Amino acid sequence: MAEPAAPPVAAPEVAPDYAGAVKVTRLLQSTTDAAGRPLVYPKPEDGQAEITALLVEIAPGGETGWHKHPLTWLAYLLEGEIEVTLADGRVNVVRAGEALCEVVELAHNGVNRGAVPAKLVMFVLGTEGGGPFTVRVPAPDLGPRVSR
């Protein structure tokens, strides 16, 4: 006889109140990355799970250069604004106070077109010794309107 199916597991709920002493605000809850593709976590056979937190600062007028991430990243923009162009031509603007799931294995370039530094905290979900978080790639041919 087959085992009954396990009940679905609901997404964790944020406690509405900690006796009034702590305020909790959900910044992001998503099943997809910034390009709308399903999130994928490392598998146990890929190695010991490891989380890395980074503070990334992009000077006014600065850009990341075209790159891709082989791992899932979560980010929260503390200050400034970043315009992110994806290899498929889509452009997303991320503003201070916004959270996002970075795109995985899709080339993109982030540009700070503002007058103040853009500062974001990034959390990388990877494996211990699993290789680089970011891989430089050639700029795609998107026409003359895209910064390279």
Report the C-alpha gap between 130 and 113 in whole angstroms.
Answer: 33
Q: Which amino acid is at 81?
A: E
Report the C-alpha gap between 110 and 147 in whole angstroms.
Answer: 9
Q: 78 pLDDT band (50/70/90 cuts)? A: very high
Q: Is the CB of residue 14 less than 8 Å from the CB of residue 26? A: yes
pTM of the model: 0.75
Report the C-alpha gap between 120 and 98 in whole angstroms.
Answer: 10
Give the model confidence (pLDDT) of 2-22 as tens digits: 444 444 444 455 555 556 677
Structural domains of the chain, ranges and CATH numbers in brackets: 44-136 (2.60.120.10)
- DSSP 3-state helix, strand, coil percentages of the chain (rounded to 5)? 0, 35, 60
Give the model confidence (pLDDT) of 87-140 as tens digits: 999 999 999 999 999 999 999 999 999 999 999 999 998 888 888 889 999 999
